[in-house]
Amino acid sequence: MNLDKAKTRVVLISKETVDAAKPASSRYVIWDRKLKGFGLRVEPSGGKSYFVRYRLGGGRRGVLRQFKIGAHGKLTPEQARREAAGKLAEVELGGDPQGEKAALRAEISVSELCDLYMLDGVDGKKASTLRIDKIRIDRHIKPRLGRMRASEVTQWPAPEW
């Protein structure tokens, strides 16, 4: 099977199909015949990644979204197809996997929250308390939790009542 031309194709995505997909001068997509919305994107650089495309709200007027499942090599075509089927089922039940991913990315980090606290949340505190707060934030909170999103921080270990 010759898949080296930059055209969209509909085939059964398998290891053989993915291995036969050669880079072209521009990105192209191979769609899966077995699962509608599941595809393989082939980049001019030779990179290959699995994704799922869906519409929110259903029908042609729905918003078109695309969710990257993962890179070929880290996932087999069968693993990617199972993951894509799960994402499509989530969409069918009213979810939006790509929207949730974007919302999480846009959420404030612990480091940003600490900076906001030091700017706006310190009214009425004594200078010595502020100095200690800044030391605690810089030495303990930011190095351990700074990159986490605020919603990801939980109490651990759970208290034993």
- pTM given for the model: 0.65
How far apart are alpha carbons 15 and 139 in whole angstroms?
A: 49
On the question of pLDDT at 70 being above 50, the answer is yes
On the question of pLDDT at 150 being above 90, the answer is no
> What is the average per-residue pLDDT within 125-153?
90
pLDDT of residue 79: 95
3-state helix, strand, coil in the chain (%, to 5): 40, 20, 40
How far apart are alpha carbons 19 and 141 in whole angstroms?
A: 46
Q: What does the block give as tokens for 47?
A: 């990179």
On the question of pLDDT at 3 being above 70, the answer is no
> What DSSP assignment string belongs to 5-63?
SS--EEE---HHHHHH----SS-EEEEESSSTTEEEEE-TTS-EEEEEEEEETSSTTSE
The pLDDT tens digits for 91-134 are: 888 888 888 888 777 888 999 999 988 888 788 889 899 999 99
Residues constituting the chain? 161
The pLDDT tens digits for 10-60 are: 889 999 999 999 999 999 999 999 999 999 999 999 999 999 999 887 678
Contact 37, 53 (CB under 8 A): yes
Cβ neighbours of residue 157 closer than 8 Å, sequence gap 6 or more: none
φ, ψ (nearest 5 deg) of residue 53: -115, 135
Lowest mean pLDDT, pick from 1-5, 38-42, 65-69, 103-107: 1-5
Residue 75 DSSP class: B
Other CB atoms within 10 A of residue 58 CB = 10
How far apart are alpha carbons 90 and 142 in whole angstroms?
A: 35
